[in-house]
Amino acid sequence: MAILTGNSLTMEKVNRIVFEKEKVELEKGAAARVAENRKLVEQLIKEKQIMYGINTGFGKFSNIIIQDDDLENLQLNLLHSHACGIGEPFSETISRAMLLLRANALARGYSGVRLELIQQLIDFLNAEIHPVVPEQGSLGASGDLAPLSHLALTLIGEGEVFYKGKCCWANEALEAEKIKPLQLKPKEGLALINGTQAMTAVGAVLYLETEKLLYQSELIAAMTFEGLQGVIEAFDQDLHRVRGHQEQIATAARLRGYLSGSGLTTRQGEKRVQDAYSLRCIPQVLGACWQTVHYAKEKLEIEMNAVTDNPLLFLEEKKVISGGNFHGEPIAFAMDFIKLGIAETANISERRIERLVNPQLNDLPAFLSPNPGLESGAMIMQYSAASLVSENKTLAHPASVDSIPSSANQEDHVSMGTIAARHALKMLENTRRVIAVELICALQACEFRGIERMADPTRDFYDKARKVIPSITKDRIFSKDIERAASWLKDARETDVRQKYDEGGEGKNEKSNSEKGLGTRM
């Protein structure tokens, strides 16, 4: 059981709740704060204090005072008018993450909602009722207004949800689970939609998937390194220690672990003095990609525990403050930054694919074909990878540098953070397919070299991958192989061998090769 406090959500906990479907419960202390904060709203309404979005209109209508009899209708009208999402729905995974993040933010006790509202979000999580939320339509500034409106509607029994493997009306799922539709009270509609939970949910899922992808890309790169008989000195610990970037050092350590004992790697001068950059600079490039991922994680974990709606109510001071915590700029920047790391992971992978298939760059069969000329082998797989890499370059354009005013220029600067997150997620899907192509080619190259000479970790990965991707014995419809490989990589909950060589495992605090008296041979 995961306990929501409002300020202790981590990526590890998100992974358990979102992917592993761990049940959720609100901490008692958080529940008490929420209840007390709600009393302040009700007190201030009785005192006729003017509060944005509670007894005023929204956006440019904020100067219009709403009468007490219409306060609940105001919240319902807000959801109806703002549910302007467009396009295909977010995945159930992202919808589930949105529910979790919205519940956690409201649990901080500054938003003026009732406990019943947070419990409704938690009940949806525990019953696996996931709102159907269109993925387009957010400017990422006054919160993710359009997508969160679609989420909020399902809590009151309107709109559509994913439930038990199908799409249905929200009221049908609520009836099946014996959950009563929520009746909105003053402030609650606004509190549900004024926040960054759509972009942050996409970002959290993106982070977890990108972390896995980077570990997989390192392992696949190690297999390619064997297939091309790479020069192992490029991963020497001393070389990376003197530059000092910890991500680069960690990547090199994992690569040394993956390739330890390999009979397919070579030494300086044995076949060549040094390799091309796509082999020699794997730690430097992927290490830098890890830096973008770590930055995104830091900002996302702050935002997952942040209060991002408006206005906010501070109980001790008995004050209501209108501000701009809903503005998505911190997440927009983080998503635009992680896009660079995702793009470069694909870029360097595609260059290794080229080295695996190009007969002018290796001594393998041309295009890894079993019958060069009659059969084209992996020739067009490289085309497809190159196409995805090029598409990533267009998606990598920063969304956060754009802004279009809205609400009659009242909201005159927006973040486009949700667009940045969506584009990053698409780039991740493209990149997974690129490294899937590299995997297929690396498997074939290592088979040609002799799999009995592979290192134990890469051989273990080879054996598992071969259960999904059979050897290329003749030309076939390779798009099916690419999709199978990509799905296999996506569905893997862990890269089996990486933990052994991660920063906390055997790769940490290892002595330099000179200290161990091993030279540079591993």
pLDDT digits (tens, 9 = 90+) for 278-307: 999 999 999 999 999 999 999 999 999 999
What local confidence, expressed as pLDDT, does residue 507 receive?
A: 42
- State how far Cα 462 lies from the chain centre: 27
| Band of residue 81 on the pLDDT scale cut at 50, 70, 90 | very high
Instruction: State yes or no: pLDDT of 500 exceeds 90.
Output: no
Within 10 angstroms of residue 491's Cβ, the number of other Cβ atoms is 7
% of the chain surpassing 70 pLDDT: 94
pLDDT digits (tens, 9 = 90+) for 147-203: 999 999 999 999 999 999 999 999 999 999 999 999 999 999 999 999 999 999 999
Interatomic CA distance for residues 93 and 85, integer angstroms: 18
Measure the CA–CA gap between 184 and 498, rounded to whole angstroms: 48
Token look-up 């680069």 returns 248
CA distances (Å), origin 391, targets 419, 431, 484: 16, 10, 21
Asked if pLDDT for residue 508 goes beyond 70, the answer is no
Structure tokens at 415: 């973040």
Residue 162 — φ and ψ, nearest 5°? -90, 130
- State the pLDDT at residue 498: 52
- Give residue 59's pLDDT: 83
* Cα-to-chain-centroid distance, residue 141: 20
pLDDT of residue 494: 55
- What percent of the chain has a predicted confidence (pLDDT) above 90? 89
Q: Are 432 and 489 in contact (CB under 8 A)?
A: yes
Half-sphere exposure of 307 (CA within 13 A, CB side): 19
Which pLDDT belongs to residue 142?
Answer: 84
Provide the annotated active-site residues.
52
Residue type, 312: L
Distance from C-alpha of 522 to C-alpha of 506, rounded to nearest angstrom = 14
Question: Is residue 512 predicted with pLDDT exceeding 50?
Answer: no
Among candidates 482, 491, 475, which has minimal Cα distance to 388?
A: 482
157 Cβ contact list (under 8 Å, min separation 6): 170, 171, 174, 181, 182
Calculate mean pLDDT across residues 127-149: 95
Using the predicted structure, report yes or no on whether residue 230 has a pLDDT greater than 70: yes
Strands, E, within 282-351: which ranges? 312-314, 319-321
Given the DSSP bridges, would you call strands 134-136 and 24-26 parallel, antiparallel or unpaired?
Answer: unpaired
**Placement of tokens 């099916």 in the chain:** 480
User: Residue 440: pLDDT band by 50, 70, 90 thresholds?
Assistant: very high
Tokens coding 458: 């890469």
Q: Alpha-carbon distance 49 to 483, whole Å?
A: 59
Whether domain 204-508 has CATH 2.20.25.10: no
Q: How far apart are CA 337 and CA 344, in angstroms?
A: 11
The model's pTM is 0.93
For the cut 60, the answer to whether the pLDDT of residue 505 exceeds it is no
**Cα–Cα distance, 107 to 26 (Å, whole number):** 8
**Region 478-507 average pLDDT:** 73
Per-residue DSSP letter, 97: H
Residue pLDDT, tens place only, 3-33? 999 999 999 999 999 999 999 999 999 999 9
Q: Residue 84: how many CB atoms within 10 A of its CB?
A: 15
Tokens of 286: 């992927």
**In whole angstroms, how far apart are CA 319 and each of 34, 54, 214, 309, 311?**
15, 14, 46, 15, 10
Closest to 190 measured CA to CA, from 300, 313, 97, 90? 313
Q: How many Cβ atoms from other residues are within 10 Å of residue 497's Cβ?
A: 21
What pLDDT does 329 receive?
A: 96
The listed CATH number (3.30.9.10, 1.10.357.10, 1.10.275.10, 1.10.10.1100) that belongs to domain 2-195? 1.10.275.10
HSE-CB for 134 with a 13 A CA cutoff: 15
Among 319, 324, 326, 323, smallest CA distance to 37 is for 319
* Token pair listed for 352: 């290794």
How many alpha carbons lie under 13 Å from residue 463 in its C-beta half-sphere? 9
Ramachandran category for residue 184: left, alpha or beta (phi over 0 → left; psi -120 to 50 → alpha): beta
How many Cβ atoms from other residues are within 10 Å of residue 332's Cβ? 29
Reported as a pLDDT band with limits 50, 70 and 90, residue 492 is: confident
Domain ranges in the chain?
Answer: 2-195, 204-508
Q: Residue type for 391, please?
A: E
Rounded distance between C-alpha atoms, residue 443 and residue 433, angstroms: 15
Flag whether pLDDT at 518 surpasses 60.
no
Encode 468-477: b = buried (16+ Cβ within 10 Å), e = exposed.
bbeebeebee
Q: Is the pLDDT of residue 504 over 80?
A: no
Q: What is the pLDDT of residues 237-280, one digit of tens each?
A: 999 999 999 999 999 999 999 999 999 999 999 999 999 999 99
d(CA 230, CA 233): 9
For the stretch 327-383, pLDDT in tens is: 999 999 999 999 999 999 999 999 999 999 999 999 999 999 999 999 999 999 999
CB atoms within 10 A of CB 218: 27
- Pairing status of strand 2-4 against strand 24-26: parallel
Distance CA 458, CA 262 (A): 9
pLDDT confidence of residue 496: 47
Q: Which two tokens stand for residue 171?
A: 């009221």
CB–CB of 213/428 below 8 Å? yes
Residues 469-479 have a mean pLDDT of 96
Note if the bond before 311 is cis, omega within 30 degrees: yes
